[in-house]
Amino acid sequence: MIPIKSPADLKSMRHACRLSARLLAEVAAAVRPGMTTGELDAFAAQRMRALGVTSAFLGYGGFPGHTCISLNDEVVHGIPGPRAINAGDLVSVDLGVTADGFVGDNATTVMVGEMDAESVRLCGICEAALAAGIAAARAGNHVGDIGHAVQTVAEAAGFSVVRDYCGHGVGRRLHEDPQVPNFGNPGRGPVLKPGMTLAIEPMINQGTCRVEVMANGWTVKTRDRKRSAHFEHTVLVVAAGPAEILTCAEKK
Ligand code: MG
């Protein structure tokens, strides 16, 4: 069953999402060459404490970080640790917090210093694919319309869409119904209704769409070790028009 949020739910949801977006912006701005992913996660943890929120990821299924930090050929679920961030790296930060009993979930990919042109293009297309997915998240459309929109943008640019991981409903829990794949057919899947809140999160690869989980049980890498980008917003399906992005740092 796909939860429909009440006005009271949405008040809390907006609060959680706003804080989640603010924290993600702060963490993204803190990325420096030479720092470790563990140091970046420690900064995130400190800022979460200061804002009075908790990580939605820490302890989820046993995940050991406050955030997921995935570099270069890592797609998602990177565990923060002693690995150093270097100029030229793609640093995907996935950050979700719980506040007022609701979760806000968002992700961005940071380009560190001087970047190769294909990495810049990958990030641009991943952001454009996310925007297309959000535009397709309209009441009366189907979940498949979102995935189709994402996939169309990514594949037209010559990139591939990760199949093994997808977006999701989000609210009182980090993962709610429905699953929101980043590929699919228009008109397929559950019908979108006002009050649904979804995390739309394309994971776009330079090479193959195939991925594999590393021995630590979490970190997902591309099979061909080419690079991957990840952008995510939590959005609200509204009565008319494209979904409203809830993970905006500014109060609307
Ligand atoms: Mg998510």
pLDDT along the chain (252 residues), means of 10: 97 98 98 98 98 98 98 98 98 97 98 97 98 98 98 98 98 98 98 98 98 98 98 98 92 53
Q: 180 C-alpha vs ligand 1 centroid, how far in Å?
A: 10
Q: 244 C-alpha vs ligand 1 centroid, how far in Å?
A: 16
Distance CA 245, CA 105 (A): 11
Q: 112 C-alpha vs ligand 1 centroid, how far in Å?
A: 23
Give the pLDDT score at 249: 80
How far, in whole angstroms, is CA 240 from its chain's centroid? 24
Give the pLDDT score at 252: 47
- Do residues 165 and 76 lie in contact, with contact meaning Cβ atoms separated by under 8 Å? yes
Q: Could you tell me where the DSSP H helices lie in 137-190? A: 143-156
Give the pLDDT score at 52: 97
Give the pLDDT score at 251: 59
Distance CA 47, CA 97 (A): 11
Structural domains of the chain ordered from first start? 7-245 (3.90.230.10)
Q: 107 C-alpha vs ligand 1 centroid, how far in Å?
A: 8
Q: 162 C-alpha vs ligand 1 centroid, how far in Å?
A: 14
pLDDT digits (tens, 9 = 90+) for 96-107: 999 999 999 999
pLDDT digits (tens, 9 = 90+) for 184-201: 999 999 999 999 999 999
